[in-house]
Structure 1
Amino acid sequence: MSIERLRADVAGRQPVDEREAESIDRFLAEIDASADPLSQDAGPIHVTGSAIVVGPRGVLLHKHRRLGIWLQPGGHVDPGEMPWDAALREAREETGLDVAFAGPLDEEGVPVLIHVDVHAGGRGHTHLDTRYLLDGGDADPAPPEGESQEIDWFDWEAAIAIADPGLRSILVHLTSGRS
């Protein structure tokens, strides 16, 4: 897989709102300007991968330990990974659940990119966040020590009410297809 594939996925997104449209434009400009946009060590602006974890119980969110806000699992891309790999790994690490991509993978084994959000990541970093839909089943989350212990399933309405604004729009969009 390549940066070109990631760029094409982002460029092909139909944004759910103005924030995502602006994020897509910024994402494309930043990855074009970076020698290694997947590496958090290459500069303060880098790609991250996040998981929108859903299941019969609703949406899984955790309260970020440092930021103190309710977010989806996700994080930095490790060497040799693409953002969708990071989203899956981080969701498993942060939730203790055996999550899997929701929906089919394409012929290259890549899930559908469902959202893009560019935001401050703390410590002076900017995250070019790519988001993928994961099925979390219906088990209780069991995050390991060192991960946020404030984690739970929320019904869609409650998740939308407490979610960070950068997450809220994709949750609202996803609910429009649920009824």
Structure 2
Amino acid sequence: MEAATAVIAEIVRNVASLDDLERRHLDETLRWLGQTDDIFRRAKPATPARHLVSYVVLIDPDARAILLGHHRKAGLWLPTGGHADPGEHPFATAGREAAEEIGITAEFSVVGPEPLFLTITTTVGIGACHEDVSLWYVIRGDRTHPYQLDPREFSDQRWWSIDDFSTSETDPHLPRFLAKLRAALSR
């Protein structure tokens, strides 16, 4: 196992599972990491067919709100984030994506610098389908701040309630992530 893959395996081992599905995703991710070092996207859209992603979820914990953008390619309301570059630590990916897609320096002070959640998702939308192994990082935002998501990636943006989230046009795991986030915020 290459050093970069070993680092990611250690990150995955430290994610506490919310439920049986996340436990299965964690176990499958560790099996995948044990079988290959080809975990970073090398060519768009889908080489290799499964690769590592860092979601960067901007939340305002005081307003209990999450900022999502309407992703142009996926056609869904999604958090910001993106594919890890070859050899890139997923935490560095999260910081880079916050700068690129939100225009901010990420502040990982809500639940800490480790990913809160892990999912394996088959992508939808324009282009070849592939599987994203996504580490979900949480960064601090302020609902009153006028953020502008990257218009090349997102056609619209909106703050959503963490407690009363109400759209099916999103990542299929977002409602579960919000349940885990609510539990983390109550600690």
TM bucket (normalised to shorter chain) is 0.7 to 0.9
Aligned positions, number: 173
Q: Find the counterpart in structure 2 of residue 130 from structure 1.
A: 135
Q: TM-score, normalised by structure 1?
A: 0.84
Whether the aligned pair in 1 keeps the contact of 2:111 and 2:185 (CA below 8 Å) is no
2:37 to 16, 32, 35: 35
Q: SS at 2:155's partner residue?
A: coil
1:17 to 16, 19, 23: 19
Q: 1:125 to 1:12 in 2, by over 3 A?
A: same
Q: Find the counterpart in structure 2 of residue 140 from structure 1.
A: 146
| Runs of 5+ unmatched residues, structure 1 | 106-110
Q: 1:9 to 1:35 in 2, by over 3 A?
A: closer
Q: Find the counterpart in structure 1 of residue 116 from structure 2.
A: 114
Q: Find the counterpart in structure 2 of residue 62 from structure 1.
A: 69
2:56 to 51, 55, 60: 51
Whether the aligned pair in 2 keeps the contact of 1:47 and 1:77 (CA below 8 Å) is yes
Q: 1:12 to 1:21 in 2, by over 3 A?
A: same
Letter in 2 for 1:152: R
| RMSD (Å) for aligned C-alpha atoms | 2.2
Letter in 2 for 1:71: L
Q: CA–CA distance in 1 between the matches of 2:53 and 2:91?
A: 9
**Which string of whole-angstrom CA distances, capped at 9 and with x for unpartnered residues, describes residues 109-136 of structure 1?**
xx21211000113413111111111112
Q: CA–CA distance in 1 between the matches of 2:111 and 2:75?
A: 33
Q: CA–CA distance in 1 between the matches of 2:98 and 2:136?
A: 11
Q: Find the counterpart in structure 2 of residue 155 from structure 1.
A: 161
Letter in 2 for 1:84: F
Whether the aligned pair in 2 keeps the contact of 1:118 and 1:128 (CA below 8 Å) is yes
**Which string of whole-angstrom CA distances, capped at 9 and with x for unpartnered residues, describes residues 54-109 of structure 1?**
1144111112212221111111112442112112221332223443222586xxxx
Whether the aligned pair in 2 keeps the contact of 1:114 and 1:131 (CA below 8 Å) is yes
Shift of residue 149, structure 1, vs aligned partner: 3.0
Q: CA–CA distance in 2 between the matches of 1:136 and 1:154?
A: 13
Shift of residue 25, structure 1, vs aligned partner: 1.4
Q: CA–CA distance in 2 between the matches of 1:104 and 1:59?
A: 14
Q: CA–CA distance in 2 between the matches of 1:96 and 1:32?
A: 35
Q: 1:147 to 1:172 in 2, by over 3 A?
A: same
Q: CA–CA distance in 2 between the matches of 1:22 and 1:11?
A: 12
Once superposed, which parts of structure 1, at least 4 consecutive aligned residues long, lie more than 4 Å away? none
Q: TM-score, normalised by structure 2?
A: 0.80
Letter in 2 for 1:46: H
Q: Find the counterpart in structure 1 of residue 4 from structure 2.
A: 2
Letter in 1 for 2:139: L
Whether the aligned pair in 1 keeps the contact of 2:58 and 2:141 (CA below 8 Å) is yes
Letter in 2 for 1:87: A
Shift of residue 49, structure 1, vs aligned partner: 0.8
| Runs of 5+ unmatched residues, structure 2 | none
